A and B are shown apart, each in its own frame.
Chain A
Amino acid sequence: MRYSRRDFLKATAGSGLIALTTGSDGVVAAFAAPPVPIPTPMTKETATFNINGRNYQAEYEARTTLWEVIAVKLGLTGTNRSCNRASCGACSVLLDGTPFYSCHTLAMEAVGKKIFTVEGLGDEKNLHPMQKIGYLYMAADCGFCTPGWEVTAKGLLDKNLNPSVDEVKSALAGHICRCAAYSAIIRTVIDTGKVLRGEAEL
């Protein structure tokens, strides 16, 4: 049997890619990677988002953030985006009951999860107790940070209906209010807990 140079090259190509890597200790290790086809990466796709119990279809790019899907593509403009750098908390939403900054979560992370935004809390005809109490205590001054902390406070009250002041402070620590209505916000959350427990009347 004769071996030609072409046969040898064919056999090498068939046995898979030979990758050379240098370990950080300087050892050169050669290995034959299994010939598994690498899938094409995702750049754009369409998916269903479950927001406040309703399903919405949206097309998004890999780089699209969750806030861009909620507020720009789907038009649920209650969720505000302020810093876009995961600092201020105005854009918070709940994913399966856990608060996340929606400006700093890629849209693909929220697919298949239950998204809760401030629209799910109440509307002008039917305010949530937190919104009524916040209105009475002037917890929303300019109102830009309000959707964010209300949603996070809802997430806290779903788990703990009787939070202490320190628990409210540590749960809402990721939110900045430029009007500095912090004391009113904390009182609102604690008194909302009282109303939801049935200990106080609105």
Chain B
Amino acid sequence: MKKISVYRPTSIEEAIQILSLHGTDAGVYAGGTDLLIRLKNRLKQAPTFLVDIKKIGNLRYIKETPQGGVQIGALTKLAEIAESDVLAKKYPMLVQAFKMISSPELRNASTLGGDLLQEVWCQYLRGAYSCWRNGGYICYGAIGDNSYYHSAMGGRLCYAVYPGDAAPALITLDATVKIAGPSGIKEMSVEQLVPGDMMVDGRIQSHVVRFNEILTEVVIPPPNAGFRASFEKLRPRGVWDFAMASAALGLQLRDRTIEDARVVFGGIAGKPYRERAVEAFLKEKTLSADLANQALAAALANAAPLKYNATKIDMAKGLLASGLDKLAAS
């Protein structure tokens, strides 16, 4: 593993000061499940200075807001979210999605903030090929084996898919995040947080958090009456693997009529792919067994699969259909 030095700040201000001092040589270390692989494979973008934010006391919590929503600290373990009674009562779909992330041991280690801001899991990047993200000038996924974790919806430089499952589920719930930086606290939606491959601070990354900023909190608005959601995921191994395709679905119902819809696909594009065509199609429709077939015709019309991954589009459409069928049957 790469040689590292670890800082253990006790406040967010101190952590931001250390991050500002070292620039992109420093990185935030919380659960470490993603970071340690980058260090073990000695990637260019693996930091030399780790800032262990676990000593900062007030970042690990799940609490209800007075309005009825939920605030989740960024250091909350995925297992704690998957087993939370509060979340299971308010947002059953979120708990269902978190139970499908990774394996039990990794859910005990990894944190919510880390899942949202994780690096892509392209085999070329993780194998320390010198690709765009690793300091090179080529995307091996676009020309090589791209059957598993590469974008089927086109790309700019990097064709790796955004691997997380937390982000699609949270976008469906209209969640927002809080980011602490040197100039104060920023708020943005989860959709704005992960806009796909971006050049930030001279590095290509999937999120917009800068080198001296720390994601501190995820805020989920209160659930409306009549809101139904489902989360579907398909992966090569039934556990541990990242989604080849996932579909998070949220419908705001009045009786059986759909007032508002959220359709977010994960694992098929460089960002959680919100399919607004299907959302517009579903509006004012009545939830019925036949609706899934009609929705499929509107879904993913601008797909641009690479040589080996056209099947991801079929998977995503199938997951959308099974999600809609489940919601129609319930």
Contacts and interface: CB of A to CB of B under 8 A. Distances in A.
Contacts of A171: 104
Given A21-B181, A89-B105, A104-B36, A173 B7 contact: no
A118 B114 CA distance: 30
B302 interface: no
Nearest to B103: A174
B33 A41 contact: no
Interface string B101-116: 0111110110000000
Contact of A104 (B4, B32, B238): B32
Given A101-B109, A174-B104, A85 B37 contact: yes
B20 A19 contact: yes
Interface residues of A, number: 39
A43 interface: yes
Contact of A38 (B21, B37, B186): B21
B5 A42 contact: yes
Interface string B138-173: 000000000000000000000000000000000000
B104 A99 contact: yes
Given A36-B17, A41-B6, A108-B6, A86 B183 contact: no
Given A62-B50, A63-B1, A24 B108 contact: no
Given A41-B7, A173-B240, A174-B239, A99 B39 contact: no
Nearest to B11: A36
A106 B40 CA distance: 12
A128 B180 CA distance: 50
A63 B3 contact: yes
Nearest to B49: A41
B240 A87 contact: yes
- Chain B interface bracket (under 10, 10 to 19, 20 to 34, 35 or more): 35 or more
Given A61-B3, A63-B1, A174-B105, A106 B208 contact: no
A29 B182 contact: yes
Given A86-B37, A104-B33, A173-B238, A98 B7 contact: no
A99 B105 contact: yes
Query: What DSSP secondary structure best describes chain B's contact surface?
Result: mixed
B101 to A, nearest CB: 12
Contact of A86 (B14, B33, B39, B49): B33
Contacts of B8: 39, 42
Contacts of B32: 104-106, 109
B6 A105 contact: no
B149 to A, nearest CB: 15
A41 B48 CA distance: 11
A170 B17 contact: no
B108 A41 contact: no
B254 interface: no
B53 interface: no
Contact of A19 (B33, B49, B182): B182
Contact of A84 (B17, B40, B240): B40
B319 interface: no
Contacts of A19: 20, 182
B276 interface: no
A33 B4 CA distance: 26
B18 interface: yes
Nearest to B239: A173
B96 to A, nearest CB: 13
Interface in A67-102: 84-87, 89, 92, 98-101
A152 interface: yes
A36 B16 CA distance: 12
A104 to B, nearest CB: 6
Given A24-B200, A171-B104, A62 B17 contact: no
B25 to A, nearest CB: 11
22 contacts: A19-B182, A21-B20, A21-B181, A23-B183, A23-B186, A24-B200, A27-B183, A33-B17, A33-B182, A36-B17, A38-B21, A39-B8, A41-B5, A41-B6, A62-B3, A86-B36, A104-B33, A104-B36, A104-B106, A106-B32, A108-B6, A173-B238
